[in-house]
Chain A
Amino acid sequence: MKRKASVRQLREHDEEIVSWKELRRHLNKVTKPARYTGGELNAVRKDPSSVSVRFALVFPDVYEVGMSHLGSQIIYHVLNSRDDTACERAYSPWPDMEELSRARGWPLFTLESRSPLNSFDIIGFSLAYELTYTNVLAALDLGGLPLFSTERDERDPLVIAGGPVSMAAEPLAEFIDAFALGDGEDLAGEIVDCYKKWRASRRPRLELLESLAGIEGVYVPSLYDVKHSDEGLLVEVRPKAGAPGRVRRRIFSDLEKAPYPERPVVPFLEPVHDRAMVEIFRGCTRGCRFCQAGTLYRPVRERKPETVSRIARKILAASGYDEVSLVSLSSADYLPIREVIEDVLTRSPCPARVSLPSLRVDSFSVELSKLLGGGLTLAPEAGSQRMRDVINKNVTEEDVMDAAKAAFSWGFTRIKLYFMIGLPGETDQDVLAIADLAYRIRQLGRDMGTKPTIAVSVSGFVPKSHTAFQWEPFVGRDEIERRQSLLAKHLRGPGLEFRYHDSRQTYLEAILSRGDRRLGRVVYHAYRRGARFDSWPDMLDLDLWLSCMKEASLEPGFYTRERGQDEILPWDHLDPGVTKGFLLLERARARRAEKTPDCREAPCPGCGVCPRFGVAPVLAGRDGTSKGAGDRAR
């Protein structure tokens, strides 16, 4: 009861709970204290008494990671553009700060006003990857909120979560009141409006949840009864109280009209991506079968080149960054990319470089890299042509060698190559084809008179929800390690470097990313027993997780196994727009190593998003028109 009283009192007086004097005295005891002091350029500080809704946007990882996340900057901007709303930010405290906070009795507070999370109306988590789940619980707990949704009442904040992981976050279903699915540009405001209406009505909390469920794109997990068979299989997901049978992801159809953070918050601490970001398009239609983003952001929606250039200039002027990243899932696919780059390079308010986060494997992309300076990274994803066809990575051996040739002739001597191992149907031969490809590229470089270094980086494949591979088994941690060492044995020698991802993380991700509601108990106990920052290799304690699974009588193998095609999957009631029929078709094609064309160029292969959700690809980068393949889809 005491906690409740303090929340109410806080709402009335809008006090800062953690005073600057207190913070200033003690922060020297933690690493990088500036993670917790805010005051950045372009941060928005509103007087709490001047707004009716206070929203705390929480990124459940450390500050420098969270500040690099474009999606959160967009939501921050969208919410703060409303006069009635103040959106503030909070990030996960590093364990030393968590310890200090607990010792000093500090709640988790926002950077803008240093208010505890439980003094806000709405808490919104940004879920970018599964291994942040325990940090979500830590944030709720430190923020003074009851962990379980059912324990919260009318005086507690509404707890929501968005971001790509929300499309399959059943392990968090008991902790999050509502998930916001898909693009947040409109959805965030609709949730705020709904909250305001409910608060004015002074009705019970359940009615808030029910009316939220009436908004397209809002999934309220507590309104769905979930039943499992004795073997653990999902047998029923039944909506209650008028909640929709399937919740559709929201799509903001025209990015030209989308609000964009042209004055982004500029962190003092160097973020992991220390540059301005302009999203040139959303969505990718290349159709790589392992890629979840390829489904979750369809259809492709481009901004016009002039809009991209204008936003870039504005951000540079408002931030002082010396680099702009033209962000998308495959930036070289943007037809006017070259003119946009030239425009940014020549017409910026201050000298700036341009970078592209995601390039294709072809000579054009290599040429772009040269134009931009910096290193060269190519991602063939698989070593053999057969595997590349299985995953629908439309890259031929010739493309790879052409790209390498272009690279050496442009003067690159170091090429980074990204691959995955553990893909469906992969044999040792396919794995060794990775080494083979690296040799051949090295040889090509030598033949061309350079002294090349080929840096191979390999990650383990994790089957993800809403992809053609969502039914495939995870090959297993031991198997991933065996394939890693197989490669390591072959990737030795001058001019070869080999790096691989921590297989423990791959394993945990494989369990959580196709998890069901029952895993919530495991996340809870892992949190209670100290799991934090599981995406940080040094921080992950896999044994702790495995023993929590054991205690909950859940088998890791149940989650990593192959799923039956007629099984109800834990995310089937969340509708990304792409149909299950299309994913099944893609799975069948993968088994035959058959390719599917990109709907940017070729006729629509019929994934279903456009006709079902009444949207269309927007190829504004093409001849200034905003029409594209979508017409063919209808």
Chain B
Amino acid sequence: MRVRIRYEKGDEQRFLGHLEVRRALVMALARAGWPVAMTKGYTPRPKVEMVAPLPVGTAGLNEVADVYLSESRSLEDLGRSLGEAMPPGFKLKEVWRISPDESTLETRITASTYRVLVYGAEDAPLKRALECFLGKDEAKFHREAREQARETRESHDTREKNRQIDLKLFVRRIEVVTSAPPALRIVLRHFEGRTVRPAWVLEFLVKHCGLEGVDPRESVVDREWLDWGDGGSHGS
């Protein structure tokens, strides 16, 4: 049985990395008594697939993971037991059954919608920076090698090639939604599991669009929802 869960990685747990979130979910599943299937191989691991993992610092209001079970259970029981077992700062929002042979969701995600609190800027200069960004044909962004090396297992060559990304390809929408401090809503595309981070967009605004007084590391980022191909948009 394959079950998809939608859950919240809350504000106060935003600083967990995706391995920690996975560990927290796996332990919650154990407390809930779900008969989670194990992977084959020398060191079997619970079959839990995290979808579009969030980086350290980002909260997620509607995150998704797939869990494989070794026995069938009623969705009602599953939802109730896991709901009670979620750790502080996490909330279970929905549990539904999907076909075991459905292809992995990771590569079918089409977009993430973020809300980004921007400290240090007034509304007007932020809006001007956005106009500047939107007016550009391309927005080449260099990821720091150190950062990427830590997060990916790609070979050095691929890493070099991938270091330059055109943010414009990824940004579907970007707008100022509230003020003092201003917040942005940014919709970022995913291509076959690849996407960019709101903090990189902010960094570009600082470096190339004249946005002053903003340290992108100080932005507070929440992912509000994920969209995927078959009309399955979750999180409204």
Contact = CB atoms under 8 A, between A and B. Distances in A.
B20 A270 contact: yes
Contacts of B17: 34
B26 interface: yes
A398 to B, nearest CB: 33
Nearest to B87: A41
Interface string B5-30: 00000011111110110011011111
Contacts of A40: 87-88
A28 B31 CA distance: 31
Interface size class of B (residues with CB under 8 A): 20 to 34
Contact of A320 (B27, B56, B89): B27
Interface stretch (A19-27, A297-305, A541-549, A569-577): A19-27
Interface size class of A (residues with CB under 8 A): 20 to 34
B79 interface: no
B12 A266 contact: no
Contact of B12 (A28, A32, A39, A320): A39
10 closest A-B pairs by beta carbon, nearest first, are A320-B27, A320-B30, A33-B15, A320-B31, A34-B15, A350-B30, A41-B87, A28-B217, A28-B57, A25-B218
B220 A266 contact: no
Interface of A: 20, 24-29, 32-34, 37, 39-41, 43, 266, 268-270, 316-322, 349-350
A34 B20 contact: yes
Given A24-B11, A32-B56, A317-B31, 14 more contacts: A28-B15, A28-B56, A33-B56, A34-B16, A34-B17, A34-B20, A39-B13, A40-B88, A41-B88, A269-B16, A319-B27, A319-B31, A320-B28, A322-B30
Nearest to A350: B30
B228 interface: no
B56 A350 contact: no
Contacts, number: 74
B33 interface: yes
B119 interface: yes
Contacts of A39: 12-13, 88-89
A269 B27 contact: no
A268 B20 contact: yes
A189 to B, nearest CB: 27
Nearest to A320: B27
Contacts of A321: 27, 30
B15 A37 contact: yes
B47 to A, nearest CB: 14
Given A41-B88, A268-B13, A268-B20, A24 B26 contact: no
A418 B209 CA distance: 59
B112 to A, nearest CB: 18
Interface string B22-48: 011011111101000000000000000
A89 to B, nearest CB: 15
A43 B20 CA distance: 17
B87 A266 contact: yes
A350 B13 CA distance: 26
Contacts of B24: 268
B224 to A, nearest CB: 17
A161 to B, nearest CB: 30
Interface string B201-221: 000000000000000011010
Most buried by B among A26, A321, A350: A350
Contacts of A270: 19-20, 23
B28 A27 contact: no
A32 B20 CA distance: 11
A268 B87 contact: yes
Contacts of A27: 15, 57
Contact of B220 (A25, A37, A318, A319): A25
16 contacts: A24-B220, A26-B218, A28-B56, A29-B218, A33-B15, A34-B13, A34-B16, A37-B12, A39-B12, A39-B88, A41-B27, A268-B13, A270-B23, A318-B31, A320-B29, A320-B30
Most buried by A among B15, B29, B31, B88: B15
A320 B46 CA distance: 13
Contacts of A320: 26-31, 85
A37 B24 CA distance: 15
Contacts of B218: 25-26, 28-29
Contacts of A32: 56
Contacts of B56: 28, 32-34
Contacts of A319: 27, 31
Nearest to B13: A39
A270 B57 CA distance: 17
Most buried by B among A27, A41, A268, A319: A268
A33 B31 CA distance: 26
